């Protein structure tokens, strides 16, 4: 049985990639496409319902799972919309504030909602193993991270870098907001031990590279994840959608729940 998919932000880079994969995968079918009033005209002639709001398209696609890779305000509205009907929603958007994440968690009590700052299977495996590595190495190792993304990316550091940073900080018993350093300039003195540096580089068409450095006495360990194409994230989102279709409301799901 195939999983029906509604794509929000269908004209965006991720939206187009997801739509193309859905068309190519027999296990899925494209049940609806949503974009802003400014761009929805570009969807004319699509073989499925289209509209400038999820609320308009959702009733035309019974049982469909919505996938949203847009912006925090749009994704929050998508979550509010599905919460009214109990329909399922996969969010791959980054840049949410803590208050917005709290709202997502509340809305997830009313509808099956899945959110991950990175849909890559490899990155989600790192969320599991990096804390183990952090604890095994101990406090004598300094932790730094560098993330590279394309020149169109709007948030910095990336949502993935912040999530990686949170799991590293948790392993040390720290709160990331208390120890994160994303800017160094001038005479700043010695590096504090209770610090995790996260630096961002932007340029070209880099899909995404994250490198975590563990630097200790006499040695350095580097753990790098490179995303070669957006299909990596789109495939993860479709995997999440197929899994979410069978879940009930109650918590804000993530890729960790699918393993």
List, by residue number, the catalytic residues: 149, 153
Cβ burial of 60 (10 Å; 0-12, 13-18, 19+) is middle
Dmax over CA atoms of the chain, in Å, equals 62
Nearest to 134 by CA among 192, 193, 213: 213
Please compute Rg for the chain using Cα positions: 19
- Six-digit token string for 32: 């609806």
| Rounded CA separation 49/30 (Å) | 9
Q: Tell me the angle at which helices 13-24 and 231-244 cross, rounded to the nearest 10 degrees.
A: 60
Q: Which secondary structure element, helix H or strand E, spans residue 236, and what is its range? A: helix 231-244
Say if CB 119 and CB 241 are below 8 A apart: no
Cβ contact 15:7 at 8 Å: yes
Residue listed under structure tokens 């948030």 = 155
């Amino acid at each position: 049985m195939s999983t029906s998919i509604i794509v929000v932000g269908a004209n965006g880079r991720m939206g187009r990639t997801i739509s193309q994969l859905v068309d190519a995968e027999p296990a899925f079918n494209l049940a609806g496409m949503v974009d802003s009033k400014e761009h929805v005209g570009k969807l004319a002639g699509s073989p499925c319902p289209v509209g400038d709001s999820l609320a308009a398209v959702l009733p035309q696609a019974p049982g469909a799972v919505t996938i949203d890779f847009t912006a925090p305000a749009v994704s929050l509205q998508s979550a509010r919309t599905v919460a009214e009907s109990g329909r399922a929603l996969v969010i791959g958007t980054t840049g949410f504030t803590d208050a917005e994440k709290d709202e997502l968690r509340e809305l997830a009590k009313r509808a099956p909602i899945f959110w991950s700052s990175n849909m890559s299977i490899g990155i989600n495996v790192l969320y599991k193993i990096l804390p183990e590595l952090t604890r095994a190495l101990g406090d004598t190792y300094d932790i730094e991270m560098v993330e590279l993304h394309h020149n169109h990316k709007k948030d910095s550091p990336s949502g993935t870098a912040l999530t990686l940073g949170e799991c590293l900080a948790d392993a040390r018993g720290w709160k990331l907001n208390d120890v994160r350093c994303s800017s160094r300039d001038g005479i700043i003195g010695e590096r504090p031990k209770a610090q995790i540096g996260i630096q961002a580089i932007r340029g070209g068409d880099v899909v995404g590279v994250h490198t975590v450095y563990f630097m200790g006495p006499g040695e350095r360990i580097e753990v790098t994840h490179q995303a070669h194409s957006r299909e990596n994230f789109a495939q993860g989102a479709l995997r999440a959608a197929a899994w979410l279709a069978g879940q009930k409301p109650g918590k804000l799901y993530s890729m960790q729940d699918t393993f």
